[in-house]
Structure 1
């Protein structure tokens, strides 16, 4: 990611923070509308799940310029998600739901440049989580 993309992700996420519970609810509504089968992967309280989601995104956003710190955390997160039943194809659906949520939540502040920055950020996040999932599945198979 470029420094400008990181700045755009950070500044737009700062606009999301005040509406974090609403943004999380919108995200899960969009996610489950896109793939109703994903609902079965979530066993707990969805409000708490939404808080965790927003915390994870916030942490990743804060560390986007410190790849050495964020990548190992994302790999571990991806490894944990294997046990929840998350598969590679789910990452596409999550990315689409995330972009749609940001578009709805940010309105006119969700410019084409902000959209591209978030797509780049999510590509980094999802790719790294998938690497962690792949590594975890290799360790299980071994």
Structure 2
């Protein structure tokens, strides 16, 4: 990600913070309407899920400038998601819905430049999470081979 893109995404999180519950509600409503098969991957307690969404979105985005912290956080998050049954294809499904919800909340501030910055952030986050999701399987396989 370019530093300018990081700044755009961080500013977006700042603008979303007062409306994060609304953004989370919109996100989950869209996600579960479009992809009901994903509903079992999330907590039945939607209030708890909404808090997790708000906290994790802000924490992971704010960690990006400190790359070491970001990688550690994103890999851990990816491993947790994998343990809950999240598959690679789910990340693309979530991306589309997340961007719709964020775009709705940001209104006129959701420009092509903003969308591109969030796209770069989402790709970075997703790829790093997938490394974390793959790592436990790799470790188990290597240990199983006596390495």
TM over 0.5: yes
Give the TM-score, by structure 1 length.
Answer: 0.94
The Cα shift of 1:140 comes to 4.0
Alignment-derived partner of residue 85 in structure 2: 85
The Cα shift of 1:31 comes to 1.3
Give the number of equivalent residue pairs: 142
Give the TM-score, by structure 2 length.
Answer: 0.91
The Cα shift of 1:137 comes to 2.2
The Cα shift of 1:139 comes to 3.0
Structure 2: state its 5+ residue gaps.
Answer: none
- From the CA coordinates, give the structure whose radius of gyration is larger: 2
The Cα shift of 1:60 comes to 1.4
Alpha-carbon distance in structure 1 between the residues aligned to 2:65 and 2:23: 24
Where do residues 119-138 of structure 1 align in structure 2 (5 Å cutoff)? Answer: 119-138=119-138
* CA offsets 1:23-59 (integer angstroms, 9 cap, x no match): 0011111211221100111233111111111111111
4+ residue segments displaced more than 2 Å: 137-142
Give the alignment's Cα RMSD to 1 decimal. Answer: 1.2
Structure 1: state its 5+ residue gaps.
Answer: none
8 Å CA contact 2:43–2:49 kept in 1: the answer is no
Alignment-derived partner of residue 105 in structure 1: 105
* CA offsets 1:113-142 (integer angstroms, 9 cap, x no match): 000000000101111111111112223444
* CA offsets 1:41-87 (integer angstroms, 9 cap, x no match): 12331111111111111111212111111101110111111111100
Alpha-carbon distance in structure 2 between the residues aligned to 1:108 and 1:49: 28
